[in-house]
Amino acid sequence: MAGAYDDRDGWIWMDGKLVPWREANVHILTHAMHYASSVFEGERCYSGKIFRGRDHSARLLKSGELLDMQIPYTVDQIEEAKYAMLKANGWTDAYVRALAWRGAGEDMGVSARRNPVRLAIAGWEWGNYYGDAKFKGAKLDIAKWKRPSPETIPTAAKAAGLYMICTMSKHAAEAKGCSDALFFDYRGYVAEATGANIFFVKDGEVHTPLPDCILNGLTRQTVIAMLKERGITVHERHIEPGELEGFQQCWLTGTAAEVTPVGQIGSYSFEVGAITREISTDYEKLVRA
């Protein structure tokens, strides 16, 4: 499948039924377009099975709750819809995007309690999110924006509004020839990339930012469990920017990113070392098991 995302053959599940791709539209006065009342999930299906699909569906519902937006479906119903979409499109390996949002309705202002909460599930065939950086090591810029305090926005939600600075930061990074950008948080600690969590290696031990103002990614959780099963010490903690110079290896994790090594962040360089290669290989085996 190729071409613009609004002009493709295929099917998208919307509000309980499969809709031809080009007809999966919303009204211009959809609340989410004006006030960012939207949450989503990104998932991958490998060989006909969505990796941690139920966990993703549960997190979607939780994100809705955090935005005071009750999604009118259960985990079971969302799972059924995902597989119906995949079957309709004939896919066994694909990226899956579940999206819930406040639609158009009786309200058109900040308050929108009378507007329906809608749900759509789309998908597409997608290769490596970072292209050949998956093998050679991604190059990261350092974003000028910072991840916000949980006192300003529900940072535990996978909410569309939280990604505005991600788009701007990734555009700026790409203009410099980088694959992505690294955020610091509102306190100045190392946080995450625009759509992925980050890990570092020093003297055989792994360090990763504490998810107290960033999303505790499902891939992040999976990789931490894998590292501990291998007997590798994992430190979840606040990481100062000055520590980047002392780390020897680095990688990103995310449903789209999977496990992608990082070769450079700003002026700091990292090797694609043994732990990075092994955890990437082990993750590939796990998701396809």
- pLDDT per residue over 144-198, tens digit each? 999 999 999 999 999 999 999 999 999 999 999 999 999 999 999 999 999 999 9
Specify the pTM: 0.95
Residue limits of CATH 3.30.470.10 in the chain: 11-124
Q: Are 16 and 9 within 8 A, CB to CB?
A: no
**Low-confidence residues in the chain, pLDDT < 70:** 1, 133
Which residue among the candidates 82, 134, 139, 158 is catalytic per the annotation? 158
Q: List the beta bridge partners of residue 258.
A: 254
67 vs 153: CA distance, rounded Å: 9
Of the candidates 231, 198, 232, the one whose C-alpha atom is nearest the C-alpha of residue 214 is 198
Q: What is the predicted pLDDT for the residue at 39?
A: 98
Q: For residue 89, give both structure tokens.
A: 């499109």
273 vs 276: CA distance, rounded Å: 5
Residue limits of CATH 3.20.10.10 in the chain: 133-287
Please give the mean pLDDT across all residues of the chain.
Answer: 96
114 vs 94: CA distance, rounded Å: 35
The topology (CATH level 3) of 11-124 is D-amino Acid Aminotransferase; Chain A, domain 1 (3.30.470)
Q: List the beta bridge partners of residue 40.
A: 99
Q: For residue 211, give both structure tokens.
A: 């998810």
Q: Are 220 and 197 within 8 A, CB to CB?
A: yes
DSSP H/E element including 81 = helix 75-89
53-66 vs 218-229: helix axis angle to the nearest 10? Answer: 130
The CATH homologous superfamily to which domain 133-287 belongs is D-amino Acid Aminotransferase, subunit A, domain 2 (3.20.10.10)
β-pair type (49-50, 205-209)? unpaired
197 vs 179: CA distance, rounded Å: 14
Q: Are 170 and 138 within 8 A, CB to CB?
A: no
Residue 133 — φ and ψ, nearest 5°? -65, -20
55 vs 51: CA distance, rounded Å: 9
Q: What is the predicted pLDDT for the residue at 1?
A: 53
Q: Are 261 and 247 within 8 A, CB to CB?
A: no
Q: What is the predicted pLDDT for the residue at 119?
A: 98
Residue 158 catalytic? yes
